[in-house]
Structure 1
Amino acid sequence: MIRASGLTLRRGIKVLLDGADFVVHPGERVGIVGPNGAGKSTLFALLNGQLDPDAGTVDLPASWRIASIAQEIHDTDREALEFVIDGDTRLRRLQAERSAVDADREGLRLAELEAELADADAFTAQARAEQLLVGLGFAENEFRQPVASFSGGWRMRLNLARALMAPSDLLLLDEPTNHLDLDAMLWLERWLASYPGTVLVISHDTEFLDAVARTILHFDQGKLVRYKGGYEDFLTQRAERLRQSQIAYDKQQREAAHLQSFIDRFKAKASKAKQAQSRVKALSRMQALAPVRAAAGIDIRIPSPDHMPDPLLSLEGVQAGYAQAPILNGVKLSVRAGARIGILGANGAGKSTLVKTLASELQPLAGERKAARGLEVGYFAQHQLDILDAEATPLQHLARLAPEAREQELRNYLGGFGFSGDFALAKVGPMSGGEKARLALALVVWKKPNLLLLDEPSNHLDVDTREALTEALAEFEGTMLLVSHDRHLLRTTVDSFWIVAGGGVREFDGDLEDYRDWLNERRSAESAAASAAGASNAEAAVDRKAQKRLEAEARQRVSALRKPLEARLRKLEAEMQKLETRKRELDALIGDPGLYEDARREECRRVLAEHGEVQKRLGDTEEIWLGVQEELEAIQA
């Protein structure tokens, strides 16, 4: 187990943990939560042996193998598949030693290495790495591309795959979902459910934490407080603790009453659609947990629009993307006043392209974008963090948008986004990603947009800020389109969904549970297509052209898994034939009575030793061949 006693950690003059005690039992899956800057990543660095505690002790079993996600990539010329396999350092060491062994002079060591390689699952390594890459959203034709050809987000996926490839007893995952779409995130949840070791995960995605974690460790005033259960259990238990300690009781009551009033109004006009009812339940949960948000001190309010034309925006037969690479074709849709739409789809399907086209960041390649008179778009995307002025303060950023506004009005507004007092006068450059995201969002909604287009607005935000943003968006009285992998945010703020898939956009009749079923049906269709040509029990909502593409991709993936195994079988068969030939030669020598004469004693000893070694290698090779053959038959079945 992991046991910490009297643990003190500092970063500069800031005390992160002060005399903290905690225990993590073998096989536990633990979520680590706390605000940005609390010390979560520093704790991981300590467990990884990258730093020492300032006081106290932390003990881990000496035999435990630790795997974690690297934050940087240095070998960018390495092929993606080989880069992932490199995560298994023992395997790579054995392979390097195997290549360096002189087979003629070091036969015994060669046999030992072959046995160790078999124990390290060397012959399934490529197939396992390919499965990780497919699960995390990589296409087969990308397996052999150099790491340098991928964007930053996809490189982080490669780092994640590399960490999962490493055999480990303790897995440290720091924000593993930041660059994943919903499909990849659901795959990762299933992968972790079957992982036999101990998992510690830092994440601001509350539904991911709730699906993965069975224990929560919360950074709370220099201590690590342990809560039993998932993230929802943690919220409920912590809310009760806050109530019992009377923290900001009056503020809690005002917050709860305010939310209850909003929920009552929403219920009165909500349709009976499944997603609307899901939203009612999510809003009720927010009201019950108002004390947690009140204690966080962040109170985001998005101004209501001054006017609301209807429809606000429409696309007619639009082709969207880039001149050499159109992504969406024949898109026809209308954004009605008051709509609250979540946009679903796999990474790379075109969600961001659709939002950019609606925001007029991308001009249609064909078709027409029609905007209503009086349309005011508020567009938030991750690249907006990069265009913030690093030398300016939050107050200066807002003053540039509103030069006529009084300073106190600007300060009051920024305070709701967490920029109070001197923090409003601090330079943006040294701020964290979450703080920059809060500022960018504050600038986006200052002009009272009647249409909010949000592309992953919760990335980099800590849990408390996500809750504040969720509440603000739930109450926003304008129109909103949201791309997000944060299921709690989607569940709480949108009333309907669009799916971007197969080069088109369509309405999705259902909620997130239905979408999960849709994904499962899609995966079942891929498996069925691989094992029986023409099987088509996939989703009825996907047209035939898209279905054929899915079937082809499934066949390619199965072929990709079979090819390395078939190549390995051919290599093993050639090795067995070579060993059998040599064994027959040695059998003939052993059968010669002259071999045992005194003059040939040294030759006799050498022949008998080689015969034993060849026989052992032949037996080991046959056993490996059988294992590979069984794996190939399992794939074919």
Structure 2
Amino acid sequence: MISITNLSYYLGSRALYENASLHIKPSQKIGLIGLNGTGKSTLLRIIDGEYQIDGGTISKAGDVTIGFLNQDLLSYQTDESILSVAMQAFARQNELQHQIEELLHEMETNYRDELVDQLGKVQEEFDALDGYTIQSKAEEILEGLGFSTDDLHRPLKLFSGGWRMRVMLAKLLLQKPSLLMLDEPTNHLDLPSIQWVEKYIQTYEGAVIVVSHDRDFLDNCVDVTVEVANSKLNVYAGNYSFYLEEKALRNEIQKGAFENQQAKIRQTERFIERFKAQATKAKQAQSRVKQLARLDRIDDVLDENARVNFRFNFSTQPGRHVLHLENITKAFGEKRILTKTQGTLERGDHVALIGANGRGKSTLLRIIAGSEPINGERRLGHNVSFSFYAQHQLESLRLEDSLIEELKTANPSKSEAELRTVLGCFLFTGDDAFKKIRVLSGGEKSRVALAKVLLSQANFLLLDEPTNHLDMQSVNILIQALQQYEGTYIVVSHDRYFVSQIANKIWYIEDEQLKEYPGTYDEYEWWQEERKEQGITPAKPVEAPKMQPATAPSTNGNAAKSGSNGRASDEERREWQKTLKTLTRQAEETETKISQLESQKKKLEAELADPSTYGDSRKMQAKNDEYKSLSLQLDHLQSQWETAMLEAEELEARIKV
């Protein structure tokens, strides 16, 4: 469909791409990844024809159409409704609709046969293009992206940049181009909308290229991953998780080849040094010199998985209770966000506040920070000091300050060496420390602002969408920093992988109440699926359980009734005792299997650590596959054991009644 061959593109003297190639096939779903500044967005603009290349060729099939969602669309404004803007995707249908209306209007006063004939032809084409369904299609996509039915007829200019971007995305999806290019679409979507877009892309008939830092989004959407690195386009035939595994294997092979070549180079250099002055060996030594000059050098593997080690020093330790919210009510005009809700945080809680946009997540953070007026009581605990990070706070960075000067404002007690260490953790190295804030990109400013928050000595952090505009390496650094943080924090984020790594509690707003799930995000996801299967909707609020709900086994259809006093009958008790024995036996058998598999897993871990294993890529792949299979079996058996034990516990309680 599109063939990029030996692409070269320069920014001044810097080669952004050099002899890079990529072939985009119909229906292919491509994830474009790489560090910030490597040229991902530039490549999309090159494909779209906006930028002219310095070398190579780009060939496109004659019938290729391209739809490009980029950050420039944020500035688009109009008085038209968002439904009208989305329906601009149907250019021909809109033209025919206008013709039909004009013909009908003319026929009211001038009914002629030729007008009837013309109207019939126009209506026939309009019908063939599904013109009568375009509005319902537009409404379906807009509502899938989070707009309410009432929103559809509001002017686009009344919406924020993120919501306007959703309208532009809806318009592109309705156009159905043969190549759809999306540049960081998840920055402007909440979790339900992200999941909706994932499903849409999975069934999209055309090709898709997505630039994203959201690992789960890429895993669920793409079947090919293209990494931009070293001015090249490296293709991996799978999603992001496959890319990580395959790249690790490639790096092992490259590392081995590099080390072997370096050993050979050192040996050759020693030969040259030893014999270059001897007449009998001078010719051979000169030959080795030429051999080294012609050698195609193998690059060493660069470690892109930056490891950080923050030392968080609190000026004061807080008490056990960090935050109390009592009878909090908040509304904007007629739109009620919270109604007499409660909330409590204890020292060491790591909370992710999640949910759809418009539910009041950012409002709740401002309430906690004390910057949002409310009815009710918000009370911080003893010795609690907080620091608040939000996207709009990037504007408060002083543009003429250097990075070092800006960090110094957050913690004046830190030495320059300590501040440079922190900057290094956030990928600012060498002379970067003396750059002015005004020359930084949006992602770089985000990293500086996050570094300031972490340096602030606060024992309570409020972070609103901290991963927006960060590349994956920067997200990984933030994850490590928060995992090492011993204080308390609340994070608003739609990045599922990020949330799964940093939260031990989940907060969400439902039915104007703040609710808590006391577990990890993966456990929360499982619980929500269970609710859906049970037909529980937000209209029927149910508090999250503290563990997997156990369902008592049925009595196999027995019609035995309980006594009039509500106690179980003897027949019911006998059935329960039989079931209890079966469950206990199953749990014991499962426990034995778990023990056997854990022994196998330890043995396999030792084999994976053996140099003879990871030195052989095929052997390494086979052992990796075996290890994954074993881990999945263990997870499944552990789940079976837990279910059996929970059901047995409930039955024991019933029998005792």
What TM-score, normalized by structure 1, do the two folds share? 0.72
Pairing 1:48–2:48 present: yes
Residue of 469, 488, 495 corresponding to 2:497: 488
Match of 1:269 in 2: none
Cross-structure match for 1:203: 212
2: CA distance between counterparts of 1:292 and 1:236? 15
Contact 1:521 1:539 in 2 (8 A): no
* 3-state SS, counterpart of residue 16 of structure 1: strand
Match of 1:387 among 373, 396, 406: 396
1:608 is matched with none
Match of 1:309 in 2: 319
Q: Between the two proteins, what is the percent identity of the paired residues?
A: 33
What is the root-mean-square deviation in Å for CA atoms of aligned residues? 2.8
CA positional deviation for 1:506: 1.0
Once the two structures are TM-superposed, the CA of residue 235 in structure 1 deviates from its matched residue by: 1.2
CA distance in 2, matches of 1:6, 1:217: 16
3-state DSSP of counterpart to 1:429: helix
SS for the counterpart of 2:213 is: coil
Contact preservation (8 Å) 1:302, 1:472: no
Match of 2:351 among 341, 350, 374: 341
How far residue 133 of structure 1 moved from its aligned partner, in angstroms, is 1.1
Conservation of the 8 A alpha-carbon contact between 2:254 and 2:301: no
Higher RCO, Cα 8 Å, sep 6+: 1
The equivalent of 1:371 in structure 2 is 380
Query: In the alignment, what sits opposite 1:28?
Result: 28
In 1, distance between residues paired with 2:304 and 2:395? Answer: 30
In the alignment, residue 55 of structure 1 is paired with which amino acid?
A: G
Residue identity opposite 1:46 in structure 2? I
**Aligned twin of 1:9:** 9
CA contact (8 A) 2:35 2:472 kept: yes
Per-residue deviation at 1:412? 2.4
Deviation per CA, 1:530-587: give whole Å up to 9, x if none: xxxxxx933388339xxxxxxxxxxxxxxxxxxxxxxxxxxxxxxxxxxxxxxxxxxx
What pairs with 1:439-588 in structure 2 (closer than 5 Å)? 439-508=448-517, 511-512=520-521, 515-516=524-525, 537-539=535-537, 542-543=540-541
| 2:356 matches 1:358 | no
Instruction: Report the residue type matching 1:10 in the other structure.
Output: Y
- The answer to whether the 8 Å contact 1:300/1:417 transfers is no
**2:504·2:519 contact (CA, 8 Å) conserved in 1?**
no
Matches within 5 A, 1:70-149: 70=70, 71-72=72-73, 73-96=75-98, 98=100, 104=112, 105=114, 110-149=119-158
Distance change in 2, residues 1:372/1:165 (3 Å)? same
**Cα 1:148/1:237, change in 2 over 3 Å:** same
Measured in 1, the distance between the counterparts of 2:415 and 2:99 equals 71
Write the distance in 2 (CA, Å) between the matches of 1:537 and 1:293.
Answer: 50
Name the aligned partner's letter for residue 189 of structure 1: E
Residue 319, structure 1, aligned to residue 329, structure 2? yes
SS in 2 for 1:332: strand
1:116-195 alignment to 2 at 5 Å? Answer: 116-195=125-204
In structure 1, what is the equivalent of residue 57 of structure 2? Answer: 57
SS at match of 2:50: coil
Deviation readout 1:162-212 (Å, 9 max, x if unpaired): 111113211111111111111111111111112111111111111101110
2-side partners of 1:301 and 1:240: how far apart? 30
1:233-248 map, 5 Å: 233-246=242-255
CA distance in 2, matches of 1:329, 1:126: 36
Q: What SS class does the counterpart of residue 439 from structure 2 fall into? A: coil
Amino acid at match of 1:22: L
1:213 aligns with 2:213: no
Seen in structure 2, the aligned counterparts of structure 1 residues 113 and 66 have a Cα distance that, compared at 3 Å, is farther
CA distance in 1 between counterparts of 2:49 and 2:115 reads: 37
Asked whether the 8 Å contact 2:411–2:456 carries over to 1, the reply is no
Cα distance in 2 for partners of 1:7, 1:154 equals: 35
CA distance in 1, matches of 2:27, 2:245: 24
Contact 1:518 1:539 survives alignment (8 Å): no
CA distance in 1, matches of 2:118, 2:19: 50
How far apart in 2 are the matches of 1:522 and 1:60? Answer: 48
- 1:364-390, Cα deviation, whole Å (9 max, x unpaired): x22212212211212211111122122
Partner of 2:153: helix, strand, or coil?
coil
Contact between 2:510 and 2:538, CA under 8 Å: does it hold in 1?
A: no
* Partners of 1:208 and 1:245 in 2: CA distance: 29
Q: 1:519 to 1:83 in 2, by over 3 A?
A: farther
2:429 maps to which residue?
420
TM-superposed CA distance for 1:487, in Å, is 0.5
Tell me the SS of whatever aligns to 1:76: coil
Distance 1:309 1:146, change over 3 A: same
Give the whole-Å Cα distance in 1 for the aligned partners of 2:347 and 2:301: 33
Residue 205 of structure 2 aligns to a residue in which SS? coil
Rounded to whole Å, the distance in 2 between the matches of 1:459 and 1:76 is 26
The total of aligned residue pairs comes to 491
String of CA shifts for 1:259-290, please: whole Å, max 9, x gaps: xxxxxxxxxxxxxxxxxxxxxxxxxxxxxxxx
Question: For the structure 1 residues 393 and 324, does the alpha-carbon distance in structure 2 shift closer, same or farther, using more than 3 Å as the test?
Answer: farther
The C-alpha deviation readout for 1:271-325, integer Å capped at 9, x for no partner, is xxxxxxxxxxxxxxxxxxxx99942557473625352421111112222355775
Cα 1:409–1:511 shift into 2, 3 Å: closer
Question: Which residue number corresponds to residue 341 of structure 2?
Answer: 331
Distance 1:31 1:189 in 2: 12
Once structures 1 and 2 are overlaid, which stretch shifts more, 214-223 or 291-300?
A: 291-300
For residues 474-507 of structure 1, give each alpha carbon's deviation from its aligned partner in whole angstroms, at most 9, with x where no partner exists: 2222212111100001111111211212211111
Q: CA deviation at 1:84?
A: 0.5
Structure 2 gap segments, 5+ residues each: 260-299, 543-657
Distance 1:24 1:56 in 2: 16
- The one-letter code matched in structure 2 to 1:232 is S
Residues 310 and 514 (structure 1 numbering): CA distance in 2 closer, same or farther, change over 3 Å? closer
* CA gap 1:211/1:150 in 2 versus in 1, 3 angstroms: same
Structure 1 stretch 344-353 or stretch 3-12: which is displaced more? 3-12
Question: Where does residue 590 of structure 1 map in the other structure?
Answer: none
Q: Tell me how far apart the structure 1 counterparts of residues 137 and 334 of structure 2 sit (CA, whole Å).
A: 35
- How far off its partner does 1:522 sit? 8.1
Other structure's SS at 2:169 match: helix
Shift of residue 463, structure 1, vs aligned partner: 1.1
TM-score normalised by length of structure 2: 0.70
74 and 382 in structure 1: CA distance in 2 versus 1, 3 angstrom threshold: closer
**Cα distance in 1 for residues equivalent to 2:137 and 2:529:** 21
CA distance in 2, matches of 1:476, 1:502: 32
- Kept in 2, the 8 Å contact 1:69–1:174? The answer is yes
Answer whether contact 2:306 2:477 (CA < 8 A) is retained: no
Equivalent residue runs for 1:588-627 within 5 Å: none
1:318 touches 1:331 (CA, 8 Å); kept in 2? yes
Equivalent residue in structure 2 for 1:407, among 416, 433, 446:
416
Q: Is the 8 A contact 1:320 1:354 kept in 2?
A: no
Contact 1:293 1:464 survives alignment (8 Å) = no
Change (3 A) 1:447 1:56: same
The residue aligned with 1:278 is: none
Deviates more, 1:414-423 or 1:104-113: 104-113
Q: Provide the C-alpha distance between the structure 2 equivalents of 1:234 and 1:523, rounded to a whole number of angstroms.
A: 33
